[in-house]
Amino acid sequence: MSVNGTPLLEVENLVTHFPVPRGVVGAMSGKPKRVVRAVDGVSFALREGEMLALVGESGSGKTTTAQTILRLVKPESGTVRFEGEDISSVSGRRLRALRHRVQLIFQDPYESLDPRFRVQATIEEPLLVHGEGGRRAEREERVRDALTRAGLTPPELYLDRYPHELSGGQRQRVAIAASLVLDPKLLVADEPVSMLDVSIRAGILALLDDLRRGGLAILMITHDLSTVAHFADRIAVMYLGRIVEEGPAREVIAEPRHPYTRALVSVVPRRDPRAAADAQILRGETPNPVAIPPGCRFHPRCPIAIPECKTIDPELRAPAGARAGHLAACIRA
C-alpha cells in the first residue's frame, strides 16, 4: 500500500466507445451513427502489491479496459487516476512519463519479441526509448538486473541469445524483463500464459506472484478462472462492458453472488474427474455490445431474472452476508 493509503490506480466510471463503420454508402444515405459500448461504466481500484484479475469472455470489455488504462485508446468519459493524477486526458511528455510507470506484457511471447534483436538489445530498448539508464555500463547493469528479476539467471547466459534460441517460457521471461527494466509500478498482463505449455505456466505465474510480493501492482487480463483462484488477490468479472461482480478472488469463486459468475464458475472443467460440477450452461453467446439490453444487461440470458430486471440497471453493491469488498450488480443477489 502506498504511503498515504490512496490506491495506485483508481478507475472511475470509465466509458470507452468505438464507432461502428458505416461505410461511404451508409454515411451518405444518412444511416445512423452507431457505437460499440466496449467499456460502459467501469470502476475499480488497484493497490501496490496487489494482483487484480479482470475476467470475462470475448466482448466483455476486459481488454479495452486495459488498453484505456494504458492510454492506447482514449476514453469517452470517466477518470483513470494513477498515483493520484488523472491520466485519462494527458498527452505528450506526461503521457511518456506515464508509459514509464505502467508496462504491458503481451499474450504471445513468440510475436512480442523482435526476432532480430538479441536479448540484451530487447531489454535495453525501453531504456533508450525513454532516454534513461545513462552510460552504457549503467544500462548494462540494469539489463542484467531485469533479467535476474525475471528469473533468467545468470544473466550472462541469455544476453547474447536470439529469441529463436529460447523456449516459450524463456521468451515470456525476456518480455517480462523488458517491462521491468524501467522499474514500473504497474504491470498489465494480458493472458500472460495462455500461449505457453501447461508444464511451464506455473513458473511464469509464480514469477508474477513474486513481483507482486515485491510491491508491484499487477492487472491480469484473463479468461481462466482456475489460474485466478491460485494467483489473484482480487477478481473483477466483466460482462458486456461492466463489472458485474468484484471481490476477493477465492471468495468470489467459492461463493459467487451474481448469476453470471455462478454460471461461469460452474462450467470451468475441473482436473479431478470426480469433481463434476452441476454445470449451468447458459444458452447463446454474449450479445453484441452495439445493442446492450436495457435494464440489467444480463437479463436475457439470466436463469433467475424477474420482470424488474428488464428495467432496473443494477449497481455494484454488497450482497447480504458477503465479506468486505465483495460486490455484485444484481438486484437478486
Q: Which residues 36-95 are close enough to bind other proteins by CB under 8 A?
A: 57-58
Determine contact, residues 244/330, Cβ cutoff 8 Å: yes
Q: Is 276 in the site for other proteins (CB under 8 A)?
A: yes
Q: Which of 20, 73, 90, 229: binder of other proteins (CB under 8 A)? A: 229
What x/- string results for residues 236 through 255 when contact with other proteins is judged by CB under 8 A? -------------xx--x--
Round to whole Å and give the CA distance between 5 and 13. Answer: 21
Q: Is 201 in the site for other proteins (CB under 8 A)?
A: yes
- Nearer to other proteins among residue 122 and residue 227 (C-beta): 227
- The minimum distance between CB 171 and other proteins, in angstroms, equals 12
- The minimum distance between CB 259 and other proteins, in angstroms, equals 13
Q: Which of 39, 263, 305, 328: binder of other proteins (CB under 8 A)? A: 263
Determine contact, residues 109/174, Cβ cutoff 8 Å: yes
Round to whole Å and give the CA distance between 333 and 164. Answer: 51
- The minimum distance between CB 2 and other proteins, in angstroms, equals 28
Other C-beta atoms closer than 10 Å to the C-beta of 324 total 8
- The minimum distance between CB 266 and other proteins, in angstroms, equals 9
The H-assigned helical ranges of 70-114 are 92-101
DSSP class of residue 317? Answer: B
Determine contact, residues 65/14, Cβ cutoff 8 Å: yes
Q: Of 25-33, 37-45, 172-180, 226-234, which part binds other proteins (CB under 8 A)?
A: 226-234
Q: Is 205 in the site for other proteins (CB under 8 A)?
A: yes
Determine contact, residues 260/302, Cβ cutoff 8 Å: yes
For 270, phi and psi rounded to 5 degrees?
-95, 150
Q: Is 198 in the site for other proteins (CB under 8 A)?
A: yes
Chain CA centroid to CA 286, Å? 19
Q: Is 279 in the site for other proteins (CB under 8 A)?
A: yes
Strand partners, 187: 103, 218
- The minimum distance between CB 293 and other proteins, in angstroms, equals 17
Other C-beta atoms closer than 10 Å to the C-beta of 139 total 18
Q: By the criterion CB under 8 A, which residues form the site for other proteins?
A: 57-58, 167, 197-203, 205-206, 223-227, 229-231, 249-250, 253, 263-265, 267-276, 279, 281-282, 285-286
